[in-house]
Amino acid sequence: PRFDGIYYLVDSSFVARKLKVQRLSPDFGSIMHEVLSGFNSVLFLGASRDENFAFSQKIQRKFPENSYQFYSGFENVNFYINKVNEFRPELVVVSMGYPLQENLSLKIMESINFDCKILCSGAFISQESKGDEEFYPKFWNSLDLRWFYRLLHERTARKRFIKVVINAIKLEFKWK
């Protein structure tokens, strides 16, 4: 897989040290086909209802053999935990952005009693819902600089990046 994503570059080493989490952090868009073809049942959480619907249509066209459920990212934690326990998927993809998706993933992990993989995918559902074309232009994709493209074009990504850098610096000095 190709590695991209500013969270991986800046923040994951600090979080992994603190929580003792093993983490592989590629940009989900670059590995989606390989990941989804390896699981029979997948639960997607995140994005708005409209984005979620558009995304669900796209995924079900690309991977019709799998079983899916899709829920927007604007429900409460107990709603998601109940849906995971009812569906019992092999994979849960949480697409809510940092740190919401990481927090929800930890709560889901603590609340299930079956084997299930959980993958955080940033704004993947929102990005993929934008139509049949690829979200990132080929130039940025070919250089594995999708995170930088988002910094240039998305105000919320810039704000989150600044927070991540500040928190990473604070944590690094705190742990020394």
> Is the confidence at residue 139, as pLDDT, over 60?
yes
| pLDDT score, position 15 | 44
| pLDDT score, position 96 | 86
| pLDDT score, position 86 | 97
Instruction: Return the higher-pLDDT residue of 100 and 22.
Output: 100
Instruction: Return the higher-pLDDT residue of 62 and 24.
Output: 62
pLDDT band at 113 (very low <50, low <70, confident <90, very high): very high
Q: Please count the residues of the chain.
A: 176
Nearest Cα residue to 34 out of 68, 70, 67, 1: 1
Instruction: Return the higher-pLDDT residue of 97 and 132.
Output: 97
> Is the confidence at residue 9, as pLDDT, over 70?
no
User: Starting at the edge strand that comes first in sequence, how are the strands of the sheet with 41-46 ordered?
Assistant: 67-71, 41-46, 91-95, 117-120
| pTM summary value | 0.69
Q: Which residues contact 18 (CB under 8 A, 6 or more apart)?
A: 171
The Cα–Cα gap between 146 and 159 comes to 16
pLDDT digits (tens, 9 = 90+) for 29-71: 666 777 788 899 999 999 889 998 998 998 888 888 889 999 9
